[in-house]
Amino acid sequence: MRTLRMKGKGIIEVVEQPEPVPGPGEVVVETAFSALCGSELHGYRGEGSQQGNSGHEAVGTVVATGKGVSDLKIGTRVGASAIAGCGKCSYCARRQYTWCPDYRFYGSMHAERFLVAASACYPLPDDVPWEPGVLITGDGLGVPYHTSAKISSPCIKTVAVFGVGPVGLGNVLMQAHLGRRVIAIDIVPGRLEAATQLGATDVVNASDCDPVEQVRMLTAGSGADVCIEAAGRPETALACFDAVRTAGTVVFNGEQGAFPLSPSDQFIRRDITAVGAWFYHFSEIDQMLGLYRDGLRVTDLISHRFPFTEAATAFELFSSGQSSKVLLDYT
Ligand SMILES: [Zn+2]
Ligand SMILES: [Zn+2]
């Protein structure tokens, strides 16, 4: 079968590889679509992916099952979650696999077939086509949904999203769907345009102005109730603390390392709550499906689709920042 080999420094090749063989509790899925995720760009631009490729959002059909897999039949259409729990702890009992101390990550989903834990496969109902399926069972909608669950207070009226790449745009879609006023901040005009189409009421181009000042101006001086950091940069993180209202909430979505932050100035004396939100819970897929059936326009997050064999072009575009969610098509 064919798979992507990510060699680093922006080089990607489609190569032949032996068929995956399912171990106990695992299945092999024949891929219909896989989605590109911003978290893959570090490996794409840098040292590459040592074990195959970093694909971790995919849908397809079960074509082989390992020992002990009884509840997932060959031929079932599934969405695969890349994080599988141990199946024994209290978090796994609630299908909160990301909190399991022994969770396992399954990658290499940019391939004609891939291996995944049966317990992390979500059977797709007949009314859910592949495209919404890959967003609902992957982190495309998963991260924004998981984030929304942590900022559910009805007192929250205005949300500022700093950085509207794929995750930021997902937050715009999700928060606008919840009826909140959404301010989108970025430096790429095309992304701000996409944010408007997904429901942002105000957009701020941070290369033309001070985004903190703009958010304050748009909120009569008080600041946003919630600021979501979705760019993964120290300057946007600090801007979130400056642009949030007193007693508001700052959410960290974008991965990043250490940067200087003052507990006294940024948290304590303004009563700020800081929230981390990583990936999503397998249990949350049920609720995401409900939102889809209620009319959440999840496929509007997709800007481009490429045949799997044109993955190099897809990654080049995605890496340039000129796209929203990008899918690879194997059908
Ligand atoms: Zn991801
Ligand atoms: Zn567990």
**Ligand 1 centre and the CA of 215: distance in Å?**
28
Q: How far is the CA of 82 from the centre of ligand 1 (A)?
A: 9
Ligand number with the minimum distance to the CA of 117 = 2
pLDDT at 203: 98
Query: Across the 331 residues of the chain, what is the mean pLDDT of every consecutive 10-residue run?
Result: 94 95 98 95 86 92 97 97 96 97 96 97 97 95 97 97 96 97 97 97 97 98 98 96 98 94 92 96 97 96 97 96 95 94
Q: Quick one: which ligand is closest to 91's CA?
A: 2
Closest ligand to C-alpha of residue 135 is: 1
Which ligand does the CA of 56 lie closest to?
1
Instruction: Report the separation in Å between the CA atom of 121 and the middle of ligand 2, taken as the mean of its atom positions.
Output: 16
How far apart are alpha carbons 292 and 285 in whole angstroms?
A: 10
Please report the pLDDT score of residue 164 as a whole number. 97
Q: Where in the chain is the domain with CATH 3.90.180.10?
A: 2-138+280-329
- State the distance from the centre of ligand 2 to the C-alpha of 86, rounded, in angstroms: 4
How many angstroms separate the alpha carbon of residue 188 from the centre of ligand 2?
Answer: 41
What is the whole-number distance in angstroms between the Cα of residue 38 and the centre of ligand 1? 6
Residue 244 has a pLDDT of 98
Taking the CA of 82 as reference, the closest ligand is 1
Q: Using CA atoms, how far apart are residues 27 and 30, in angstroms rounded to an integer?
A: 10
Closest CA to 159 of 132, 297, 147: 147
In 3D, which of 64, 1, 59 has the Cα closest to residue 27? 64
State the pLDDT at residue 215: 98
220 CA distance to ligand 1 middle (Å): 36
d(CA 100, CA 15): 34
Neighbours of ion ligand 1 (CB under 5 A): 37, 39, 139
How much distance in Å is there from the Cα of 104 to the middle of ligand 2?
Answer: 9
The superfamily CATH assigns to domain 2-138+280-329 is: Medium-chain alcohol dehydrogenases, catalytic domain (3.90.180.10)
* pLDDT score at 50: 75
pLDDT at 84: 97
Kindly identify the ligand whose nearest atom is closest to the C-alpha of 282: 2
CA of 27 relative to ligand 1 center, distance in Å: 21
Comma-separated ranges of CATH 3.40.50.720 domains in the chain: 142-276
Topology of domain 142-276, per CATH?
Rossmann fold (3.40.50)
Distance 62 CA to ligand 1 centre (A): 22
What was the pLDDT predicted at 52?
A: 83
